[in-house]
Structure 1
């Protein structure tokens, strides 16, 4: 059967690094307060004029270079983002143009922090159905543009960045030993919209700022992330004992730790980057995958579980063999 196999990975972070101490100048907060509640020590903010599509393009170029390919080799681009440059056209088509890709197609996916998991599932469906052979899957965000800088409970948590994977169709036996995406599990429940949202958009004529009920989001996150990871593993006829690495959405170290515990896994099997990047929404999983490979943690043949939850609420997971 056809499998969507990882051929390249890459990421990009804006040059500006913002340590926790910088927030002490304008908010009633401290480095210790932020670290103890989130695990975050620093994050990156995009420069003035540096857009989401620019970040996405640089991450895509890094993934293509890692695979030894160019934009001309790609059939499709799926870009997960909630902070696209414009209402339309899609940021993905801007990346397509920047990569010199004149064939195929490109589109955005919007599922907030779960966006990259949704994009991977989309890419997998395109590949196994034969609609595309090579798909570039990107997560990119500039959440610094939608922060309320007077709200210490949210503005200290988020950062900007981008990550990308290049997937390619390969024929394999159809077992759980195959490389590539082995299973996906996607979920959403619109009843929880008010737990995490941006209070702007077309209906208001403003871009708005992020609003979050942190305690409730935390409660749902731990429960739903563990459930979706178990579901995806079961679909692949695998269990937690088969997992080499969990690469979770990097939102909060306490959520990451609690979810790992519910999965029956030690933290030495979890790729953690939240301390350096903060919550980069749809960019957080591909960023962590790329950094995990760069560190020498994720190696060929490793079984990787990714899981994320975001506004909607939307959540899901992907099981893949590197």
Structure 2
């Protein structure tokens, strides 16, 4: 019988239960996939705690790689044996998943299963942030909060590859060294330093073209104060909680700033945009310009420990669940 991490009531990591689930043959337009590696992301925490709403009970997780075991009627893009991955799986924390074929992409031979699972959501997020939401080019100065984290470590490398000056906030000297090794030109220890003052110092008062903020409340309104006039605050996460006190008038007061709250799923809503996003990611990783660090591995049945480590800021790079 397939196994899965099920959530019957929202709450802490202990809310996830390792249970048997029924195997479901694929219907029209679906594929059945045997998972080989599963990505762990903060969005999984948001659903587990109830911050993001989902009908109960449900299987946790959104990102995985695996092998196609069966295809449903009308599916022509995949065959049995194909290696695939997705960042929008309904219930990825499972040994087997049946889901629409349209949410999967083929994984090229140059990318290992663990790497695919570690990077699909975080890597495609970095891609849309840097190439679509605000198109980073050589000469831009960017601030990336949590620069040594899952999205941050990929975005740092990619922004450096694009020729930007990269400033990153991190939580410890060890994470600062990691961020520097990945292309961060300047690191700021946010627990010990005033990151707004340090950004002003680093840039000689010119500030940044864009701030990529996955932190939320703890970095607000400081993120706005790091932007030059007409700069963009890209709030794509809320690991410290939502920025509840946000007042749009502040955008005008601080230099006619732009603000957006994007999601990956808006940028990959069609098979064409999903393929474009994934293929750009595969290419930049295969080229060696971006390396995917898997900093932590847990058994799928130990997913609660993975969540504790993630919420406790004890992880670097990507975390994967293995089978």
Q: TM-score range by the shorter chain?
A: under 0.3
Greater relative contact order structure (CA < 8 Å, 6+ sep): 1
Per the normalisation by structure 1, the TM-score is 0.27
Q: Structure 2 length as normaliser, TM-score? A: 0.27
Whichever of the two has the greater Rg, that structure is 2
Structure with greater proportional helix content: 1
